[in-house]
Amino acid sequence: MPSAEPDAELDPHWVELRGPVTMPPFYLPPAMAGRHSRQAKVLAIVLIGVFILATAVGACLTYGPKLA
């Protein structure tokens, strides 16, 4: 992509055309504040721990074992 000329002027309507948000909300919705049960917190910590442990021992949980 060529660089812009040093004396180039910015289109005054460019900001209007761009829109107020850079990503649609369904792609990355805003975080929801709220309380979670103790069981949900424990389950989340256990799942994260399992994935970290599996990564540490070299097990690949996303693509399965290497065949070749």
User: What SS3 string covers 36-56?
Assistant: CCHHHHHHHHHHHHHHHHHHH
Q: What are phi and psi of 17, to 5 degrees?
A: -70, -30
Q: What is the mean pLDDT of residues 19-37?
A: 74
Q: What is the pLDDT of residues 29-60, one digit of tens each?
A: 777 777 889 999 999 999 999 989 988 888 77
Q: Is-above-0.75 flag for pTM?
A: no
Distance CA 62, CA 64 (A): 6
| Residue 54 near residue 61, CB atoms below 8 Å | yes
Amino acid 47: pLDDT: 95
Amino acid 5: pLDDT: 86
- Type of residue numbered 34: G
